[in-house]
Each structure stands twice: as structure tokens, then as C-alpha cells.
Structure 1
Amino acid sequence: MSSNRGVVYMGTGKVEVQTIDFPKLVDPRGNKCNHGVILKIVSTNICGSDQHMVRGRTTAPIGMVLGHEITGEVIECGSDVQFIQQGDLVSVPFNVACGRCRNCEERHTDVCLNVNPDHPGGAYGYVDMGGWIGGQAEYVMVPYADFNLLKFPNKAQAMEKIPDLTCLTDILPTGYHGCVTAGVTSGSTVYIAGAGPVGLAAAASAQLLGAAVVIVGAGNPARLAHARSIGCETVDISKDASIAEQIEQILGVPEVDCAVDCVGFEAHGHGKNYDPKKGVPAIVLNTMMEVTRAGGAVGIPGLYVTEDPGAEDEAAKLGYLTMRFGLGWAKSLSFYTGQTPVKKYNRGLMMAILNDKIQIAKAVNVQVIPLEEAPQGYQAFDKGAAKKFVIDPHGSLK
């Protein structure tokens, strides 16, 4: 039996690299997965969604293997796998999806009906998402392989571009989905809340879609500086001037055509009330309604939860937010929520990467680290490092 190591959640603020079970072609409920494959992981990324769990803002159990952003090489195929072969280099959407239910057939792989007994939607290494083992490890099992996996057409070319292609598992499709659902198109003015990896991926996506002006808002100076380095305008949410006032200084009007929430429920105050340690979970949504033009749209790929045990008020602990929804209604705004159906976008975005139409590794400032340094990566990311940490568990990357 081969060995395996993975990043394990050990309680609020703590992760460890531990020896874990080598994957088997079995699902979390013990059913045989003849439709699955075993991957030797080439790259696996630390995500802001992982940080929600590590910060104690979910009901994640101690001992859970983390990681849902997985790129790897197939080393074993189940007997029912027909089109994926041993040796293939593949990208794994973070959504676990069967490919056979009504939602999957309608391209809503984010809410597959068959991979999670508790509610629609599954993911690797994530709380309440079906119990699928995470991929911040050396090896992982992927079910429904023929449907889920995106094979790279040229293995050698793909290995040269892994720092970019590793972003196909989540953050690039997520940022792109936020922009598409917000209606970003040629000539759009766009406000993106958040300058973390998803926010920067959304900014790069907006540029790919032809936006005229992309404005990124955050309170982290290093992240704002990086956003400017890739051609974005920025607003500093810690300034006394409101976001609308800062947008007016850039555009001449205090509103944008489209807005994308890449922050989610762990948002903080703005202006005089800005405090990185204080949560104001609805503030981004309320700001979006204020600064988006009448008839516009808001994409919301940022994560919101049904339960937030780390919230500062009782309502937010149960997932209730104090939203100024009447303003959104009065302005005829459209809102689009939910996890990203990665398969809807990943093939097209792969082609954009392979043909040098987007440099996403540069946009999100990828830094490759070995598996042993994952705990330090989590700590640096939690402190606001302007980087996307990519774990290289086998030393495969340059």
C-alpha cells in the first residue's frame, strides 16, 4: 500500500500535515466507485473558502482533510471509466457532480442531486458537502471521472503552464462566473469587492470579457497595489470617503454598470467603521446595491453560509443578514448567487490560458510551496498576503 499525506484541520486556526489513508475507489458512504480514478496530485491550492473553516466560521469537524482545488495525473482507473486513461493530466472542478441528475444535465453541476445526502451540491474537503476527502494531499480519489475531469490536450505544454492551469479548478471559473452573471461585457464599468485571489481572478476575467474600467475595492494595501499592477483602478474601503465617492473620482459618476461580490460573509466595515477584526456580513451586498446603476446586475460568487458559529450577532449565526433589499428592488437590480458550476466554463478558460489570452497566475500572484509548508501558507494567507498559495506535493513544478 502506498503512503499518503494531507493537510488536516485540527481546530480553529490550526492545520497540520499528517499521514492519511491512501485513497480507494469508494465513496464517503462506502459504495464502490468503479466510475472513479485515483490521482497523483500535481498541484493543489489554498483557497479563501478553506480559511472560513480554519478560522472556525463553519461547523467543520476536526480531522477533516482539506482542499478542493486539485490538478493531477491519473494513476488508476475504475472498471467503468471509459474515456479517461492512466497517465492523463487533468483538472478537477471543485464541484463533485454525477453528470446524470436533472441539475447536472442542465449544467448546474454546483447543485448535483446525487453526491450529497444532506442537500444538493458536493465538494472535496469541505464542510457539509458530502464527505468527499480533500485534495491538499499527495493522492486523492475523484468520482464520475469521465464526466468531472478536464483532460489537458498536451501534457508537456500543460506542465509548463500549471501555475495558470491550477486556477481552473475554482478561482478563475468563479471570478469569471461572477462577471458573466453580473453582465460584464465590452465597455462595461465594473466594481469588484475584494482583492483576494477570487477578486483578482474576477478582475482578470472582466478584462478578458472586454470591460472598459475594472475597479477593485479592499482595505489591504498590498492587495490593492497588486490589483493596480494588473491594470485595475482601486478604491480603499478603509478611507473616510465612501465607495460611491471614490468611484465618482474614477468614472465621473458614483455608479458602475456591474458589480461582483468576491468577499462573502466575512466582510468588514467601511470608512470610519473599517476594522479587519470586526465582521459586518451584509455590508458588501448593501454597497453593491448602492453603487450599481438602476437596471444593473450583481454577481455574488463570494461565499455565504447557512450557519456561522463565529458571527458576532445571533441572527448572523443562523445565516440571517440585515440587507437593504428595498433599495435593490427599487433599482430593478438582478442578483445571482451560489457556487460556480465550474464545468460550464473550465474548457473555454483552459483554451484562453493555453493560447495566452489570460495570465491568471500573474493576476493572482501564484506562489508555489511544498506540502510541508502548507500550515505557513495558511498563516500568511490569513494575514492578508497578496498571493495565491499553490501546493506542490511531489516537487513536480519548476
Structure 2
Amino acid sequence: MTENRAVAYKGTGVVEVVDTPYPTFELKDGPGVNPANVGRKVPHGAILRTVATNICGSDQHMVRGRTTAPEGLILGHEITGEVVEVGPGVEFIKVGDIVSVPFNIACGRCRNCKEGKTGICLNVNPDRPGSAYGYVDMGGWVGGQAEFVLVPYADWNLLKFPDRDQALDKILDLTMLSDIFPTGFHGAYTAGVGPGSTVYIAGAGPVGLAAAVGAQLLGAAAVIVGDLNEDRLAQARSFGCETVDISTGDPKDQIEQILGFPEVDAAVDAVGFEARGHGADSAHEAPATVLNSLFDVTAAGGALGIPGLYVTGDPGGVDEAAQQGSLSLRLGLGWAKSLSFTTGQCPVMKYNRQLMMAILHDKVQIAKAVKATPISLEDAPRGYAEFDQGAAQKYVLNPNGYITTS
């Protein structure tokens, strides 16, 4: 039997690289696996040898102990791989294909999938619509920070790259198609960004930087990124963004200094539920701060894209309401300004092929924008620790040596 190694959550602040079973075309019991999914057959699936798999800020929420994730959960939902086995129900995907895996698991058969709402598939998670690899309360599909991983509904879910050599040459860009590039782009797109727009993006982590790249691709005239971390703000400036340091005060004042007026056409929340306050309050967690700030700085009739993660259970929340995902929002302000906003998982398949073409034809350099940094699978604990400390890098795990580094 082929062996497998993977990154596991072992308790608050701790990840380890462990031996784990090689995938099969049947779901087995294990940490986080929904009991209703145990024994589920996957003849429509494919087994991948992982080419690249990334550490995501959403993973960090679990590792910090801010979710109900069980110890032993195999992490990782940003996956690019080479197909090494296919189930008997797979018709079009072939062994040897290099593919991107959307982090949303979708069946392609339910009403939501047929309407393009692949982030809220009805058939893959017995508890609620929507699923993902290696994530708490998402059905228990095993994560992809591993040497090998199972992908269900392969013909539907997998995006095949047209040329193997070209794909491997651009792998640090293409690996961002599994999540953060479509997610950031989705944030900008649902905020209504278009030619000539002014945009404010809260958060200069990888998703925020991807949203900034997406806004530029959509034709924004000015992209402003706010954060507390100077290294991450410098990364945003490296590809033409304006920046505001929210530790110095209200972003509205700094936006006015940049644009000449204190509002933008569109705004993106790339922070989520672990947001901090602004100015003197920036040392303290204040989970509603970002959304209320965006209500304030977005012009009447504008829109907010909210790819930042919000959860229904947060053991480390600042109060009882936050622990249940309840936030005190200035909805009256949003209503008075006729603001619209879009939340939830990005439906990756809505965007990933077009963004792939933009990468392959050199229209964007997403890996450079997010400072993609390849490390070995065994080095994952260091990557998690440094990312948690605010490193302005996107760590890309290289479990099987496909990524060459100079």
C-alpha cells in the first residue's frame, strides 16, 4: 500500500505532519468526518498526487482554536495535483492530468450546482449546504495538505490545465486558483468593481491582496488596502495599491487624503471574524469593526463583497454573542445608504477558468502579488507559525517535489 503524509491539527496552536492512510474511493471514519458520510462510495472520484497545496488564513482560524475543529483533522483546502487514479464513474479526467481543485466540494447535480452556486452544494455535507476539504463542519472530506488526496465528482470539480509543461512552469500562480485568487476576485466582483471604480479593501493578507489584483483586473482606477501590518501593506504597494494603516486611526480620514473625498464606490472585507479595532483600539479584537467601517466608507448605492470568513461557532469570541457569530452591525446605516452586500463561500468554478487564462496569457502575476513562498510538507509547522505571526507571504507546500526552487 502506498504511504501518505499529511498536516494535522493537533490542538490550539499545534500542527504536525503525520502518517495517514492513502485515499480510497470510500469515505472512512476519522476526525471531523460526518457520521452520515462514513462509508460513502466515491466511484466518481479521482486520487491526486499533490503538486502544490497552500496554507490559508481560514486554516489559521482553526489552528488558533477559534473554531470547533477536532484534534486530528487533516488540514488543507487549496489543492493542485496530478491525477494518479480515477474511479469507474470518471469519464473525462485522465491519469496524468494536472488539475486545480476548487476548495468548494460540489456534486454538479443538485439545484444549487446547476445554478452555479457551487459554494452551497446540497449533496456533499449532511449538516448544511456547502463543503470543503479539511475544514470544520464541512462534511469531513479529508484535507489536501498531504502527498495524496481524494477529490469527488472529478469530472465536475477538476479544472484541467491545457499544457503540463506550461502549468508546471506557472505553478506558483496556478495554485492560487483553488481558493484565494477566485475568492479575492469574487470579493471585488460582487462589490461591483468595474472600469474607473474606487475600491477600499480591508485586510492585506493573501485574500485581500488577491482582491486587490482582482480589482485591478476589473479596471479599478484606485485600489486602497487597509491593514495593521506594515510588511503586508508594503506588499500591497509593490503592485500599485494605495494603503492605509488602520492602527493610526479611522480609514475614512486616510481615504479622504488619498482620493480627496472620504468614500469609495466599492469595498471588500478580507478580514472576517477576528477583526481588530481601529486607531487606539487596534490592539483589541472587535469583530464588527470592519463591516461597520465599510458601511461608513462606501458611497450610497454602493456594494460590499465579504469574502472574509465568519463562523457560527467561535470558542474564543470576545463575548457570548461573538461566540455564536452574532455581531452588532450598523444595519440602519447600510439600509439608509442602499448598500448591498454578498457573503459566503466564493463559488470558485464561476471564475477559475477565466482567471487561469489570465495567468497563462500573462495578464496577472498573482504569485508575485501575494509573495508565494514554496516550502516542504515537513516544514508546514514553521509556515503556520510564521504566517500566524503576520508574515507577508503565502506559503505553498511542495509535498512531492514538483516545484523547483533556485
Flag whether TM exceeds 0.5 (same fold).
yes
**Alignment match, 1:395:** 401
**Alignment match, 1:272:** 280
For residue 344 of structure 1, report the CA deviation from its aligned partner.
0.4
Residues 216-240 of structure 1, C-alpha deviations (whole Å, 9 max, x = no match) = 0000010001111110000000003
Distance across 2 between alignment mates of 1:336 and 1:32: 34
One-letter amino acid of the counterpart of residue 278, structure 2: H
Distance across 2 between alignment mates of 1:115 and 1:31: 10
1:20 aligns with 2:20: yes
Deviates more, 1:350-359 or 1:19-28: 19-28
For residue 107 of structure 1, report the CA deviation from its aligned partner.
0.3
For residue 38 of structure 1, report the CA deviation from its aligned partner.
0.4
One-letter amino acid of the counterpart of residue 82, structure 1: E
One of 364, 368, 371 as aligned partner of 2:370? 364
One of 257, 260, 270 as aligned partner of 1:249? 257
For residue 272 of structure 1, report the CA deviation from its aligned partner.
1.0
- Secondary structure of residue in 2 paired with 1:10: strand
Give runs of aligned pairs for residues 1-398 of structure 1, distance below 5 A: 1-27=1-27, 28-240=37-249, 242-275=250-283, 278-398=284-404
- Secondary structure of residue in 1 paired with 2:369: helix
Distance across 1 between alignment mates of 2:356 and 2:10: 35
Distance across 1 between alignment mates of 2:316 and 2:24: 35
- Secondary structure of residue in 2 paired with 1:163: helix
For residue 396 of structure 1, report the CA deviation from its aligned partner.
1.1
For residue 312 of structure 1, report the CA deviation from its aligned partner.
1.4
Distance across 2 between alignment mates of 1:92 and 1:309: 30
For residue 307 of structure 1, report the CA deviation from its aligned partner.
1.0
Distance across 1 between alignment mates of 2:239 and 2:22: 41
Distance across 1 between alignment mates of 2:15 and 2:74: 9
Distance across 2 between alignment mates of 1:262 and 1:141: 29
- Secondary structure of residue in 2 paired with 1:287: helix
- Secondary structure of residue in 1 paired with 2:248: coil
Distance across 1 between alignment mates of 2:22 and 2:72: 15
Distance across 1 between alignment mates of 2:8 and 2:202: 30
Counting aligned pairs with the same residue, the percent is 68
Distance across 2 between alignment mates of 1:96 and 1:153: 22
Distance across 1 between alignment mates of 2:203 and 2:251: 13
Distance across 2 between alignment mates of 1:343 and 1:26: 25
For residue 31 of structure 1, report the CA deviation from its aligned partner.
1.9
Distance across 2 between alignment mates of 1:45 and 1:54: 15
One-letter amino acid of the counterpart of residue 3, structure 1: E
For residue 279 of structure 1, report the CA deviation from its aligned partner.
1.5
Residues 182-203 of structure 1, C-alpha deviations (whole Å, 9 max, x = no match) = 0000000000000000000000
Q: Could you say what the CA RMSD is over the residues aligned between the two structures, in angstroms? A: 0.6
One-letter amino acid of the counterpart of residue 268, structure 1: R
One-letter amino acid of the counterpart of residue 5, structure 1: R
Residues 33-60 of structure 1, C-alpha deviations (whole Å, 9 max, x = no match) = 1100100000000000000000000000
Structure 1 residue ranges without an equivalent (≥5): none
For residue 160 of structure 1, report the CA deviation from its aligned partner.
0.2
Distance across 2 between alignment mates of 1:351 and 1:341: 18
Distance across 2 between alignment mates of 1:312 and 1:267: 11
Q: How many residues align?
A: 395
Moved >3 Å (runs of 4+): none
Q: Normalized against structure 1, the TM-score is what?
A: 0.99
One-letter amino acid of the counterpart of residue 156, structure 1: D
Residues 265-324 of structure 1, C-alpha deviations (whole Å, 9 max, x = no match) = 01001001111xx32111000000000000000000100001111111011001110111
- Secondary structure of residue in 1 paired with 2:349: helix
Residues 94-142 of structure 1, C-alpha deviations (whole Å, 9 max, x = no match) = 0000000000000000000000000000100000001000000000000
- Secondary structure of residue in 2 paired with 1:16: strand
Distance across 1 between alignment mates of 2:336 and 2:221: 27
- Secondary structure of residue in 1 paired with 2:2: coil
Distance across 1 between alignment mates of 2:40 and 2:61: 30
Distance across 1 between alignment mates of 2:55 and 2:216: 24
For residue 346 of structure 1, report the CA deviation from its aligned partner.
0.2
Distance across 1 between alignment mates of 2:64 and 2:124: 26
One-letter amino acid of the counterpart of residue 139, structure 2: G
For residue 258 of structure 1, report the CA deviation from its aligned partner.
0.1
For residue 325 of structure 1, report the CA deviation from its aligned partner.
0.8
